[in-house]
Amino acid sequence: MSAASGRAGARGGWAHFGIAAGLLLAAAVGFNTAVRVLKVHLVKAPVPWPAGTKVVDHRLANFPVRFGDYVLAGDGELSRRRDGEPDGLVRLRKEQLEELGTTKHRLNWYYQGIFAETPPGEPEGRTGRYFTLHVTYYTGLVDPAPHVPEVCLFVGGYYPLPEESGAVELHTSAPPPWDRFRVWRTAYAGSSRRGGYFKSAEYYVFSVNGQPTTSRLTVRSKLANPLARYVYFAKIQVAPLRPGTDLAACDRDCLRFLRQAVPAVLKFLPSAEDVRRLESAPPGSDD
């Protein structure tokens, strides 16, 4: 190959590179223009908590210790060890929060507590029934994965029972759409440490921008909606502390608990109207 032909080839290579770079630049400019003109939001802005919400180290710190007929288990109630802190207050470790994705945004939080059922009119009495309440709140994330018992129960060595799982209707005293909605019952089986077989269930519902749903696929689709600028989702999950064998009794007891727990939880979640106000406001700086 001659020097002249080599220089010509080099010039041709740079020419092709320049054309390709120009096309990429034009595509990028066109894409950004389309995103701006069509008001497409690929990265969602975070939805702030309602006023009065107190979060410390990603844990909701001011959830009530009593609501309706339920009270947080006290110090020494579930354990012989007394440490000055209610036994019902559950603190997750940092590595657990990292695994759940809670630490990925400063506005994410969780709450986990164990509540005792008290008979109506006897606030200091106990029925012996305890319930675990777990609430998570996520916002400002790119494509987070909602966790559901159907998947997580396998990790604990339990076996989901799809034929006995499904949506159940719940009525509460909360305003619409939370006055009447469905929660998902995940039935499962397992063996106790003493070798006994048991069947139980966990119950959950998602709030996506203030709207209830039992489907994590619906949650994912809402999170992927390119026209939504602000998105959050939360999960309210309840289970009996001590599993039994009677799913009908489990339904009765856990749904009664949820009827009173949901209105208490909603005070710490943005409503659908809160999100609509954010969406209608002029675009500003996002966290």
> pLDDT confidence of 27, banded at 50, 70, 90?
very low
Secondary structure of residue 71 in the 3-state scheme: strand
pLDDT at res. 106:
94
Residue 28 reports pLDDT greater than 50: no
User: Quick one: average pLDDT of 91-120?
Assistant: 93
Residue 35 reports pLDDT greater than 90: no
Alpha-carbon span 87 to 178, nearest angstrom: 30
Least confident of 47-51, 123-127, 233-237, 259-263: 123-127
- For residue range 228-272, list pLDDT tens digits in order: 889 999 999 999 998 877 889 999 999 999 999 999 999 999 999
Rounded to two decimals, what is the model's pTM?
0.81
Q: Which helix (H) or strand (E) holds 280?
A: helix 272-280
Alpha-carbon span 209 to 264, nearest angstrom: 17
8, 14, 20, 21: CA torsion to nearest 10: -160
Residue 159 reports pLDDT greater than 80: yes
pLDDT at res. 251:
93
115, 119, 124, 127: CA torsion to nearest 10: -60
74, 78, 83, 84: CA torsion to nearest 10: 0
> pLDDT confidence of 134, banded at 50, 70, 90?
very high
User: Does residue 3 or residue 193 have the better pLDDT?
Assistant: 193
What is the percent of the chain with per-residue pLDDT over 70, rounded to a whole number? 77
pLDDT at res. 228:
83
Residue 63 reports pLDDT greater than 50: yes
Backbone angles phi, psi at 217, to 5 degrees: -70, -35
User: Quick one: average pLDDT of 270-287?
Assistant: 81
The C-alpha angle with vertex 255 and arms to 172 and 60, in degrees rounded to 5, equals 75
Under a CB-based contact definition with an 8 Å cutoff, are residues 256 and 172 in contact? no
pLDDT at res. 40:
46
Nearest to 235 by CA among 183, 188, 278: 183
pLDDT at res. 15:
57
111 burial type by CB count under 10 A (0-12 exposed, 13-18 middle, 19+ buried):
buried
pLDDT at res. 266:
98
Alpha-carbon span 265 to 206, nearest angstrom: 12
How does DSSP classify residue 21?
H
Backbone angles phi, psi at 115, to 5 degrees: -115, 140
Under a CB-based contact definition with an 8 Å cutoff, are residues 181 and 205 in contact? yes
